[in-house]
Structure 1
Amino acid sequence: MQMYELSFWVSGVQVWVDWVLCTRSHQATVEVLAGAVVLSEAWVFFQALLGSWYDPLSASLVNGSFFTREEKQYVNRFWKEIRVGDFVRLRCNEIIPADILLLSSSDPDGLCHIETANLDGETNLKRRQVVRGFSELVSEFNPLTFTSIIECEKPNNDLTRFRGCIIHDNGKKAGLYKENLLLRGCTIRNTEAVVGIVIYAGHETKALLNNSGPRYKRSQLERQMNCDVLWCVLLLVCMSLFSAVGHGLWVRRYQEKKSLFDVPESDGSSLSPVTAAVYSFLTMIIVLQVLIPISLYVSIEIVKVCQVYFINQDIELYDEETDSQLQCRALNITEDLGQIQYIFSDKTGTLTENKMVFRRCTVSGIEYSHDANAQRLARYQEADSEEEEAVPRGGSLPQRGSIGSHQSVRVMHRSQSTKSHRRTGSRAEAKRASMLSKHTAFSSPMEKDITPDPKLFEKVSECDRCLAIARHQEHPLAHLSPELSDVFDFFIALTICNTVVVTSPDQPRQKASFGVSLLGQPAPAIASNGYSSGAASWAPGHTAPEQKLELEQEQERELRYEAESPDEAALVYAARAYNCALVDRLHDQVSVELPHLGRLTFELLHTLGFDSIRKRMSVVIRHPLTDEINVYTKGADSVVMDLLLPCSSGIQHQKKIRSKTQNYLNLYAVEGLRTLCIAKRVLSEEEYACWLQSHLEAESSLDNREELLFQSAIRLETNLHLLGATGIEDRLQDGVPETIAKLRQAGLQIWVLTGDKQETAINIAYACKLLDHDEEVITLNAESQVCRSPCSAPEKTAGNVSVGFSPLCPPSTSTTSGPSPSLVIDGRSLAYALEKNLEDKFLFLAKQCRSVLCCRSTPLQKSMVVKLVRSKLKAMTLAIGDGANDVSMIQVADVGVGISGQEGMQAVMASDFAVPRFRYLERLLIVHGHWCYSRLANMVLYFFYKNTMFVGLLFWFQFYCGFSASAMIDQWYLIFFNLLFSSLPQLVTGVLDKDVPADVLLTEPQLYKSGQNMEEYRPRTFWFNMADAAFQSLVCFFIPYLAYYDSDTDVFTWGTPITAIALFTFLLHLGIETKTWVRAVACGFSILLFFTVALIYNASCATCYPPSNPYWTMQTLLGDPVFYLTCLIAPVAALLPRLFFKAVQGSLFPTQLQLGRQLAKRSPKKLIAPKETFAQGHLPGEPRTQSSEQKSISTSGPFSQDCTSQASWHIQRPACSPEASGEPNVDLCGLKTAVDGSSSENLEMASFFFFCNLDVNIIYVYYLHRRVLVRCILCFQG
C-alpha cells in the first residue's frame, strides 16, 4: 500500500471518529460529503484489488481449437477452459493461448514461425521446431496415438530457457528446448497449421509469470518527502495534544462556561476535564488534519503525468534517422533524472552504432588489410557529412600501406569538430535500410557493401582452380595445400558457424539431400537467383569489384539474412563477398553455394550456442566432400587461443602462425576493431560417438542440466586448429564524445562496462573522450587473486600504469596532486574485486578515478558493479544499454535507460526510459531531469508550507476559544481551499515552471549539480519552510484580529478576510518561488474563482447554520475599506522576511542556479559564458575593457558546491544617460578581484543587485532615481 492510499484510509478513520464519537468538528453536510469521498476511494481500492487477482485475457471471448477425447475432434473453447495436457490446433495469425510443445507443423521441415512482439517487443519472426521424433511423421498427427511421456521443469518466468525431455514408446529420450516451445501471447505467422500439447496453462505460463507489473521504484525525493510527512504527523499529534491539555485546563478553570464549547453527555451531565480533553484531542486531529498533505500525493501523480507528456513531445528528443522518439516507461521517477551521480553504460550498440562492418582478417598467419573497405568507409563518411551539414571534416580514415607493415594504424581517429562523420551511412541509405528491416535483421548498406582484398581473393581463386581440377576425385580437399585448406575452411566457418536464417520468398521451400547438388556446376535453382555469375568471378583474373557488386545486388534481391547479432550478419556478408554464400538453413542442414562445386549441403548435427561464460559458439557438421565430422568454433580470442591443440617442439610453423595471429589481434584491438578467432577440429567417428552419448544424457537430464551441457561443450571444444581471425568495425554514434564531455561537466561519473577485449575497449574509450591521452591510466590485469608484491610501486609506461591487483592500492602520492587518473580493469580482475574482502578497496580506488572502464565483463558482473556502487556509496545510479545482456544492469540501477538499437527490444522493455541514441541522454538529464527535480522539489515544499500556514491560522484561534477545536473559517471554505482555490497554480507551476532556460542549462552543465546536492529540497530547507509558514500564519491571523478588535463582527465576517488573506499570501509566495510567469493566469483564475464561489455561496445561504450564518458576508466585506487594507498589508508583511532573505542571499551569496537565471535575464544574445566562471560560482558574461566610469564591487561568501570565491559585477554606463535611454546597458563580467570606487559606489552596486533579486521590474525605476536612493541609503548608514 502506497503512502497516499494510507492517507485516504486515515481520512476514513477521521470521519468514522467524527460520526461515532459525535465530536461534530464539521457540519453534517460536510461530513456526509467526506464520507462519500472515502467510500468511493474504498470502492476504487477494492476494484484494484480484484483486478490484481483477475486475468481479463483468460476470461475473454478469445477461443481456440482444442481436441476432446470424448468427441474425438477439435472444438472451439475459451482460453479459461484449457488444461495441461490438452492438444491444441492453431492456424496462421492466431494467438497462442498457452505454453505449447510443438508436435506437428504443416511446414515440410517441421518449422513454425512465431511473432514475439507481445513478449519482447521484437517484430522479426522466430523459428520454432517440432520435437525430435515427431518431425519425421508423414501422416497427420493424431492425438489419440500419442503415448509419449513428457518431463519438464517447474513453471518459471525465464523466457529464454526451457528444459525437459520426452520419452518415446521405444524408450528413447529426446531433449526439449525453447525452440520446441510456443509461448502464450505470441502469434503464428507464415505457417498454415500447427498442433501441440499444453505444457503450462493459465497463471503458470511464462508470459503471466513475467506479467507482475512494472517494478515500483520510489524516487529519492519521494523518500525524503515521506520522512517529512511523518514529521508532519508528529507535529499534528503535538499540536492536538497541546490543545487537549489546554482545553482540559480551561474546562477545569471555567466550569460555568464549558457548556459553550462542550457537548454534554446523553443524560445531560457535563463532561469531566479529562473526557473533554480526550474529545478535544480527537477533534483537533480532524480539524488540523490538513497538516498531513493528502492531496500532495495526488498532485504529484498529476504533475508527473504531465511532465512525462511534455518530455515525450520534446522535438529535440526525436531521431529522424530511426523515426523514433524518447519513451517514458516509468511515471514515478522523473525527478530522479535530475539527481544522477553515476552513469553505467554499455559500449557496443550504446556508444557505438552496433552496425558491424567487416574490415580486416588474418588467415593462416597472413594478414589481409582490405584497404578498399577503408576507402569505401571514408566515402560513406564524406557523403554523409556533405548531406547532413556542410562543415569540413577534421580527420580522415588512415589506410594501411602494405600487408607486411607493422605500423599501428588507428582507424578510430575522428574529428571532434563535427558529428555527422560518425554515421554509418547517409540518411537516405539509412531510410532505405529501415524500410527493409521487417525482413532483414542487422543489415545496412555498409554491411553488405564489402570489397574483397585482392591478395585474399587471389588465394580464393587459387583454391577454386585446385578444386576445379580435383572435383571428380574422391577427396577434392586433400589436393589443397595447408594454407589453401585453411582459407577454404575459414570461409566455410564464417558461413555456417552462426544462427543466421535465410529467407527467399520467391523460391519454394524444399529439403535438399545431404551432399553436393550437381557436382561440378551450380545448382540450377540457385543459378536463376543470381548465382550464375559466381563461377566467372572465381575464375583467375576476375577480381573486378564491379562484377562482385552486381552479383551482390542480384543476391540481395532474393536472399534475406536474419541474424541474432550484427557480428554474425557482417561475417556472412563478408563470406558472400568472396562468393561463399549461405543459401539455406534448416534445423538439421545448412546449404552453401560455391563456384564449380555448386550447392554444398552440410548435415548440421549440433549447434552449441554462444553464452557469456564460454564466450564462443560451435557447430558440429558432417562435411559433404570428405564425410568427416568437423567442429567449427567462433569466439573471443581470449578463450579460443587457450583451446588450441598444443604444438609439439618439432612443429615451428604452427607456433609462428599463432604468434602472428596474436600480433594481428592486438593490432586490430588497438585500432578499435572487434576481434573473433575462427578454429576447427576434425572428430573421428569413435570420438563423436563417445561425446554424443554423454551429450544426449546431458540433454535428457532435468537436474543440473545446464551444467552438464556446459561441460559437454567444454569437452568438445578442445584441441582446436586455428584457421584465422577477423576484425569488425563498430563505429561511434553521433555526438558521443560531446555528450560524455557535457555529462562530465555536470558532475556525473561515467563507467563503461563492456564485454569486449581490453585493447578494443580502451581504443573506443579514447575515441569517445572517456579517456584522455594526457591523463594517467591505472590498468588492473590479474592472473590470480594473490599479488606477487603487495603494494608494490606502480610501473609507469607510456602514460599508463600497471598495478598489482590484490592490495588495490591507489597510485602513489606523487601522482595524486595532478588530474584524477582513470581505471581500466578486465573481467577476471573484476571478479576478484567484487568479492567481499576486496569490494571496499575496489570502490576506494574507483572513487579516486575520473573514469572507470570494465572490460570482458559478463552481464552478472555488470549488475553487481551497479549494485555495489548504489548500495555502498549511496549514490543515484543510471544504467544505459541496448541488448539483452544489459537487462540485469538496467533493472538494478535507480534509473534504467534502454536504447532501441540493433539487438532487439529486451533492454527497452526492461527500462524506465528509452532513447533512440546515446546523445539524447544529455538533454534528458541536464534539461528535463533538472526541470523535473526543481519543479517537484519546490512544489513539495510549497505544499508543506501552504498546509502548515493554513493549519497555523486554525491553531492560533484555539487560544481564543478555549482550545475547543472550533474554526473561524467556514466549513465549505475549509474543503474547497485546497481542492479548488489554491490547487491550480501549484499544478501549473509544477508542470510548466522553468527555473533556468534550456539553452543555459546546456551551455552550463554545472547547473545540474544542484540536483545532485539536493539544494532545492533538503531537511534544512524543509524546517526553514515550516518556520516561515508559522511566522506567516501569525501575521495573517493577528493583523485581521487587530483590525477587527473591539468590533461587533461575527465569526463569519472575521473568518472570510482571513481566508482571502491566506489565499493572497499563498499566491504571492508562489510568485516569489516561481521562476517564470506561467502562473499568472492560474493565480488570476484562483482569485476569481474564490470571489465567485464566495459571492454565490453567501448570497444563497440565508438559513444555513442557525443562529449564525454566512449570508451576504462577502458582499458586505467588499464595501468595507478595512477588508482591502488587511488584504494588502497582511500578505506583504508576512512575505517581507522571505523576500528580504532571498534578495540578500541572491545579491551577496548567489548560488549557481541564481547566477544562471541572471544570465538568462541579461540580454542572452550579448553574453558569452565561460565555463570556468560557473565553476567558481560567478555570473558569466562577455569580458570587455573597463571605461573610466565603470563601477565594481567585490563580495565574498559561500557558494554552492562548497566553493568560496569572490564575485565581481560590472555595470558599464552607456553613452547617453539612463533617463534618455530608458534602459541600462549591463555588462556582467566573470572574474575580477580588484575593488574600485568609493564606498558609496560599492553600496550603490549592492543596492542594484539587491533589487535585481527581487525579481520585479523596479530596476528601471531605480535607474531613474538612482541618486536619490543612494543618498537615502548613505543617510541610513550614517
Structure 2
Amino acid sequence: MYLRYIDMHGSFDIDEYWVDSRTVYIGHKEPPLGADAYIPQRYPDNRIVSSKYTLWNFIPKNLFEQFRRIANFYFLLIFLVQLIIDTPTSPVTSGLPLFFVITVTAIKQGYEDWLRHKADCSINECPVDVVKEGTVVRTQSHKLRVGDVVMAREDETFPCDLILLSSSRDDGTCYVTTTSLDGESSHKTYYAVPDTTAFKTEQEVDSLHATIECEQPQPDLYKFVGRINIYKESEDPIARPLGAENLLLRGATLKNTEHIYAVAIYTGMDTKMTLNYQSKSQKRSAVEKSMNAFLIVYLCILISKAVINTVLKYVWQWPADHDQPWYNHRTEIDRERHVVIRAFTDFLAFMVLFNYIIPVSMYVTVEMQKFLGSYFIAWDKDMYDDEMGEGAQVNTSDLNEELGQVEYVFTDKTGTLTENNMEFIECCVDGHVYIPHAICNGQILSAQQEDLFFRALCVCHTVQVKEEETVESIKRGIHQGKATSSYISSSPDEVALVEGMKRLGYTYLRLKDRHMEILNKEDEIERFELLHVLNFDSVRRRMSVIVKSSAGEYLLFCKGADSSIFPRVVSGKVGQVRARVEQNALEGLRTLCVAYRSLSLAEYEEACHKLSDAKLALQDREQRLAQAYDLIERDFTLLGATAVEDRLQEKAADTIESLHKAGMKVWVLTGDKMETAAATCYASKLFRRSTQILELTKKRTEEQSLHDVLFDLSRTVLRQRSLLSVDCQDYGLIIDGATLSAVLKPSPESSGSGNYREIFLEICRNCSAVLCCRMAPLQKAQIVKLIKASKEHPITLAIGDGANDVSMILEAHVGIGIMGKEGRQAARNSDYAIPKFKHLKKMLLVHGHIYYIRIAELVQYFFYKNVCFIFPQFLYQFFCGFSQQPLYDTAYLTLYNISFTSLPILLYSLIEKHVSIETLKRDPTLYRDIAKNSLLRWPVFLYWTCLGLFDACIFFFGAYFLFDNTTFTSNGQMFGNWTFGTLVFTVLVFTVTLKLALDTHHWTWINHFVIWGSLLFYVIFSLLWGGIIWPFLNYQRMYYVFMQMLSSGPAWLSIILLIMVSLLPDVVKKVLCRTLWPTATHLAQVGPQLDHTRGWFESFYQH
C-alpha cells in the first residue's frame, strides 16, 4: 500500500547523482527558475513493434537466421559444391530438400510475423485521451510521448506505463487487474502521492508543476524506484518517493474506478510489458545433446566414406589402362590439373554422393513433433482444475521429452505441497493459549497485554476490505454469528490472522484517510493513524508498521518468523512463547511471533528521517531500506505468537509416493522453520515413520563442528550402504539455510577440493529424501545448481508457486510453476505451468514417459533409415570402379526424406502409446525403464546403426546375387543398373516403413492411413515417374523401369523375400528380449493382452 513519508527536518538529503536515471517533465512543463536546468531528453514514442521483419528485409533477414543453424548451413555448402564442381548427382537432389525446409520455415515465420504486424497496428491506433492545455484531447496510442498526462476511464487498458497522479476516488486510489501481465485476476490497489490527489479536473491537473526522476526501464514487473518533485509558488520543492504501488503498467485494466489521471513514464518498447517479451535463456534437453553427438558421429562416417572412396578410386585407376576410363569424359583442363586438386574435387564429389546420411528433414520433423505434441499437454482434461477454471500451460515445447528423464524433484512447500489456504487455529499471549471457539464460549480477555496483542494483529498487515459495510451491520453480523466484511491480501497468512482476530473480538474495519479503524470487543471503534509500513521481505522474514494511537502514542508493531523476532526481543515471556511455537511447529502449523515497541517523539522522528532518506534514493534503494529497517526494528517486547494451519493439497502424498516409486529423489526447499516443514514432510509421505532422520542444522553444528557433523553423517550412510542387506535403512536429511551457507563456503579445514560440497553430496546421494528449511530464494537456486553440477549430472526439476521460487525454476533443467495464490510469477517464468501439485504425477509419469519414447524412437529411426538409404550407395561404388555413379534416380534421392518416409515417423512420434495411459499411472516403476536417457545411449545407437548396415547389405547384396546372370523379364532380357537401383530402393522404402509398423503398439485408423498410404504413394509416384516422358528432363533413363520391374514375377518374389529377411533380426530380437530378458515395460504390455485372452476363454467356457 502507499506509505506517507514525512521529512521532519524540512529537507531531503539527496546526495547521489544517478546517471542511470531519467527525468520526466509532467505535461512537458519546464521547471521554475532556480530549479535544476531544463534538459530536454529524447525518449521513444509509444509505437509497439513486436514484429521481426519488414517487407524489405524479410527475405535476407530470414535467410540469414535460418542459415545460422549448422544443419541448414551444411546442406547449403553441399548444394554450392554441386553447383561449382561436376558431381555425380544433380544439384536438385540437395537443393530441393533444402529449399523445401527453408520455404516451409519461412512461410511459417512470415505468417506469424504478419499476425504480429496486425496486432501491432491494432494497438498503435487505439484511441487515448490526453490532457493538453486544460482540455482532454483524443489521439492515437502511438502518438503518446513521455510526460503526457493521460486520462483513463473504467475498463480501459493502460496504453503505456503510467505514474498515478489522481483518481475519481477521494483517497487517490484506483483498482486495477493485471491479468494480461501476470495472470492474476484479483483487483489490486494502486496509490497516488498525497500531494497530487487533490487534482481532480483537467484544468487542475494541467496546472501541476512537477518532475519525476526514476530508474531506466527494466523488465521486473514488481519493482520500480523513483521520486516526484512537486514545485509550488514561493515554496521549496517537495520530494516524494515513488514505488511499484504508484506504477500502472501497460496492459493492465482500470476497474471499479470512474477515471484516473496519470503521467506517461515509459512508452513503446521501454514499457515493462514489452521488455518482458524477451525469452528466457535457452534450455537444451538431453535428447537434443544426444542427437547432436550422433550427428557428429555420422559426419565423421560421411567424411571417412568420402576419404576411403577417393583413395580407392586412385588405387583402382593406378594402372595405365584404368587411368582414362571412357565414362569419365575428362576435358583437357581436367587432365592438366594437379593430382591433389583432382583428388580434392573427387573427395567433394563423394561427400555430395553420400551426404544423404545426414538427415536433412530430421530437424524440421523434431520441431514439428515438439510443437504439435505440446498441445496434448494443454488439452489434457485430467490436468484441468474446475475451481481455477484453467488447465496445464506449455511455455516452451523444447523440453517435452525432458519430463521423462527427471531424477531430482525440488519442490516448494507452501502453496505447492499445501493449499496455501490458511486457517487461524490459536494464539499464545504471554504464555497463555487462546483458541477462537473457546473465547467465543465465554472466556474474557481483559489484560492490557492481551489487548495490545490483538490490536497489533489488527493493524500490522496490508489487508484490504473487499466490500466495506457500515459499522452497525458489522455489529449485527458479529452478534448473530454471521459473516461480515471479507478481506483480500497478497498474503493468505494475513487474511487468516485478521479473520482470527475477528473471532476473538477485534474486527478490522477499514483504512480511511490514512487511519486504520478497529472495532474492539466492547463494540467501540478505535483509530490508529498509519504512519509507515516496513514491508515484508524474504531476507528479513518480518514486517512492521508504525502507528499513532488516538492518545498520541507512537507504536511500532512487528510480526515475523520466530528466528527473526526472538533475537530482537529484550523483554517478554520468551521461554513460554518459544515452547508453544515449537509445539505448534511439531503439529505442522505455521507460526508467527508478534512484538512491539513504544517510540518516543525523538525516536519516531529519527525513524522517519532514516526511512525518508532510504525511500527517496534512486540508487541502491533496497539496500538502504534494509539498513534502515535493521536500525528501527530492535529492542522489542514480545507479545505472543500465532498458529495457522495450511492443509496439505489433495493427492500431494500420493504424488510424492509415486515419484519415489518412479526412482526420483524429492527434495523440499522451504523458508519455514524445521519443525513445521518436517511435519508436512511426514504428512506428505516424503518421510516415513521408518525413515532415520539425519540433521545437519545450526543447532547441531553449535554442539559439534561442521567438519565433525559432516563426517559423522557420511560414515553413517556409507556404513549402511556397505551392508549386504535387503532391508537397508531408509535415510532422510534435514538441513537449514545457515548450515547450507557454511557447507557451500570454502573452508580451510576441509582437504582436497577445499570445501565440504562433495561430502554433503555423498550424504544426499544416499538419502531417499531431503528437507531444506529456512531457505532464502537464492539458496534454493544454489541447491539446484549444486546437484546439476555433481558428477552424475542428473536431470533436475523445480516446482513452486511464488516469486521466491523463480530462481530455482530458472536454474533447473525443467521448471514448473503452480498457478497458486501467491501470484503468477512462478507460472510466468516456468517451462510448464499446472494448476495443482497432483498434476505433476501425470505430467511426468505419463506425458514425460510417452514423449521421451516417441522422440527417442524418432531420432534413432531417422539415423537408421538414412543408413539403410546411403550404405547401398557406398557398396555400389565397389562395383562401378568408384566412378561416383549414383545407385538411385535423382527423384528418389530428392523425395526419400521429404515424402516417402517422413510422414509415418512424424505421426508415430505424435500418437504412439507403447503402454496404456492407465498402466503408466498405475505403475510408476515403468518410469525407471527409460531413466538416464536409456533409449539414446551409445549401445542403443550402435544397435540401430548396425541394424541399418545389416539391412542395407541385405538390400544390396540380396538384389545383386539374385539378379546375377539371371533373366528376369519375359523376353529374356536382364535388368539394367537403374532397374537394379529401383528394386533396391523399393525394398528399402517398404522395409523401413514396415519396421515402423512392427514397432507400433497403438493402432488407429490414422496409422493405417499414413503407413499404407505412404507406401501406396511411392508406388503411384514411381508408376507416373516412369510411365510418362517428361519434357522438362534432358534424360529419360527411368522411362518404363518401374513397370518393367513389376511385370517380373521373380522381382516380386525377390522383393518379398528381401523384406522378410531384413525384418527378421528385429522380430527375433523382440521375441528373445520379451521371453528371456523382459523389462517392466514388456510385462506391462503383455499384461492387458493376457487379461483379454483370459477373459475370452472364460466367457467361451461359460457359454
Alignment TM class, shorter chain as reference? 0.7 to 0.9
Aligned twin of 2:103:
40
* Counterpart code for 1:941: Q
The separation in 2 between residues aligned to 1:741 and 1:719, in whole angstroms, is 46
SS of equivalent to 1:217: coil
Displacement, 1:251? 4.8
- The yes-or-no answer on 1:212 pairing with 2:212 is no
Task: Tell me what 1:982 maps to.
Answer: 901
Please say if 1:336 is aligned against 2:336: no
The offset of 1:50, in angstroms, is 8.5
**CA displacement at 1:762 relative to structure 2:** 1.0
- The yes-or-no answer on 1:531 pairing with 2:475 is yes
Task: Report the equivalent of 1:1267.
Answer: none
Q: Which residue of 2 aligns with 1:23?
A: 87
Q: CA deviation at 1:566?
A: 1.2
Shift of 1:250: 4.3
Q: Secondary structure at the match of 1:617?
A: strand
Tell me how far apart the structure 2 counterparts of residues 350 and 42 of structure 1 sit (CA, whole Å).
39
- Equivalent residue for 2:979, pick from 1037, 1053, 1078: 1053
State the secondary structure of the residue aligned to 1:1162: helix
Corresponding position: 1:487 with 2:553: no
- 1:633 paired residue number: 558
Q: Secondary structure at the match of 2:994?
A: helix
Distance in structure 2 (CA, Å) of the matches to 1:806 and 1:1146 = 46
The yes-or-no answer on 1:291 pairing with 2:357 is: yes
Confirm whether residue 707 of structure 1 aligns to residue 623 of structure 2: yes
The structure with higher relative contact order (CA 8 Å, sep 6+) is: 2
Mapped partners of 2:355, 2:184: distance in 1: 51
Q: 1:1043 aligns with which of 962, 966, 990?
A: 962
- 1:1165 to partner: Cα distance: 9.4
CA 1:15–1:902 in structure 2 vs 1: closer, same or farther (change >3 Å)? same
> What's 1:325 paired with?
391
Which whole-Å CA distance do the structure 2 matches of 1:876 and 1:910 have between them?
19
Q: Contact 1:265–1:271 (CA<8 Å) still a contact in 2?
A: no
Equivalence map 1:585-604=2 (5 Å): 585-586=511-512, 588-594=514-520, 596=522, 598-604=524-530
Q: CA deviation at 1:208?
A: 2.0
Question: How many angstroms apart in 2 are the aligned matches of 1:1102 and 1:118?
Answer: 57
Counterpart of 2:603 in structure 1 is 687
Residues 813, 6 of structure 1: alpha-carbon distance in 2 compared, 3 angstrom cutoff: closer
Give runs of aligned pairs for residues 85-124 of structure 1, distance below 5 A: 85-124=147-186
Q: Per the alignment, do residues 1164 and 658 of structure 1 end up closer, same or farther by CA in structure 2, a change over 3 Å counting?
A: farther
Partner residue in 1 for 2:775 = 857
CA distance in 2 between partners of 1:790 and 1:8 (Å):
55
Distance 1:50 1:327 in 2: 23
Q: Is 1:453 the counterpart of 2:379 in the alignment?
A: no
Are the equivalent residues in 2 in contact too, given 1:363–1:724 (CA < 8 A)? yes
Aligned letter for 1:496? Answer: V
Distance 2:582 2:702 in 1: 27
Letter paired with 2:849: H
Task: Please tell me the residue identity of whatever aligns with 2:642.
Answer: T
Tell me how far apart the structure 2 counterparts of residues 1090 and 586 of structure 1 sit (CA, whole Å): 79
Other structure's SS at 1:603 match: strand
Shift of 1:124: 0.9
Indicate conservation of the 8 Å contact 1:219/1:332, yes or no. Answer: yes
In 1, are the aligned partners of 2:75 and 2:94 still within 8 Å (CA)? no
Q: How does 1:271-670 map to 2 (within 5 A)?
A: 274-370=340-436, 451=437, 453-454=439-440, 458-460=443-445, 463=446, 483=447, 485-504=448-467, 525-527=470-472, 529-532=473-476, 534=478, 537=479, 547-548=480-481, 550=482, 552=483, 555=484, 559-586=485-512, 588-594=514-520, 596=522, 598-624=524-550, 626-646=551-571, 654=572, 657-670=573-586
Preserved contact between residue 350 and residue 917 of structure 1 (Cα < 8 Å): yes
**In structure 2, what is the Cα distance between the partners aligned to 1:812 and 1:1036?**
57
CA distance in 2, matches of 1:1154, 1:618: 61
Partner of 1:830: 740
Q: Does 1:1114 align with 2:1042?
A: yes
1:735 is the counterpart of 2:640: no
1:1155 and 2:1100 are equivalent in the alignment: no
SS class of match (1:356): strand
How many angstroms apart in 2 are the aligned matches of 1:220 and 1:233?
20
Question: Aligned-pair distance for 1:1035?
Answer: 1.2
In 2, Cα distance between the equivalents of 1:205 and 1:1102?
59
User: Which residue among 900, 909, 921 is the counterpart of 2:819?
Assistant: 900
Letter in 2 for 1:90: A
Structure 1 253/79 Cα, relative in aligned 2: closer, same or farther at 3 Å? farther
The structural deviation recorded for 1:855 is: 1.0
Q: 1:912 aligned to 2:831?
A: yes
State how far apart, in whole Å, the 2-side matches of 1:1141 and 1:344 are.
Answer: 39
Tell me how far apart the structure 2 counterparts of residues 860 and 92 of structure 1 sit (CA, whole Å).
40
- What is the deviation of 1:786? 7.5
Q: How far off its partner does 1:567 sit?
A: 0.8
Deviation at 1:1051, TM superposition (A): 2.9
For the residue of structure 1 that corresponds to 2:798, the secondary structure is strand
Which residue identity does 1:118 align to in structure 2? Answer: S
C-alpha distance in 2, partners of 1:206/1:3?
32
Classify 1:715/1:839 alpha carbon distance in 2 versus 1 (closer, same or farther; 3 Å): same
Query: For the structure 1 residues 65 and 52, does the alpha-carbon distance in structure 2 shift closer, same or farther, using more than 3 Å as the test?
Result: closer
Residue 915 of structure 2 corresponds to residue 996 of structure 1? yes
Relative to structure 1, is the Cα distance of residues 901 and 225 closer, same or farther in structure 2, using a 3 angstrom cutoff?
Answer: same
User: Structure 2: how far apart are the matches of 1:813 and 1:218?
Assistant: 34
User: Does the aligned pair in 1 maintain the 2:489–2:495 contact within 8 Å?
Assistant: yes
Indicate the residue corresponding to 2:217 in structure 1. 155
Q: Where does residue 811 of structure 1 map in the other structure?
A: 716
Q: Is the contact made by 1:280 and 1:964 (CA closer than 8 Å) also made in structure 2?
A: no
Partners of 1:333 and 1:587 lie apart in 2 by 52
In the alignment, which residue of structure 1 is the partner of 2:1017? 1089
Bigger drift between 926-935 and 1140-1149 goes to 1140-1149
1:482-524 per-residue CA deviation (whole Å, 9 max, x = no partner) reads x2x222222222222111111327x7xxxxxxxxxxxxxxxxx
Normalising to structure 2: TM-score of the pair? 0.86
Instruction: Quote the Cα distance in structure 2 between the aligned partners of 1:291 and 1:627.
Output: 86
**Cα displacement string for residues 414-448 of structure 1 (whole angstroms, at most 9, x for unaligned residues):** xxxxxxxxxxxxxxxxxxxxxxxxxxxxxxxxxxx
Q: Find the aligned partners of 1:693 and 1:90 in 2 and give their Cα distance.
A: 35
One-letter identity of the residue aligned with 1:563 = S
Question: Any idea what the Cα deviations from partners look like across 1:852-882, whole Å, max 9, x if unmatched?
Answer: 0011111111111111111224110111111
- When the two chains are superposed, the root-mean-square deviation of aligned CA atoms in Å is 3.2
Q: Where do residues 56-67 of structure 1 align in structure 2 (5 Å cutoff)?
A: 57=120, 60-65=123-128
Partner secondary structure for residue 124 of structure 2: coil
In structure 2, C-alpha distance between the alignment counterparts of 1:342 and 1:969, rounded to whole Å: 49
Give structure 2 stretches of 5+ with no counterpart.
Answer: 1-64, 747-754, 968-973
Corresponding position of 1:430: none
CA deviation after TM superposition for structure 1 residue 596, in Å: 4.9
Equivalent AA in structure 1 for residue 471 of structure 2: I
- CA separation of 1:137/1:1017 partners in 2, compared to 1, >3 Å: closer, same or farther? same
Does the 8 Å CA contact 1:353/1:733 hold for their aligned counterparts?
yes
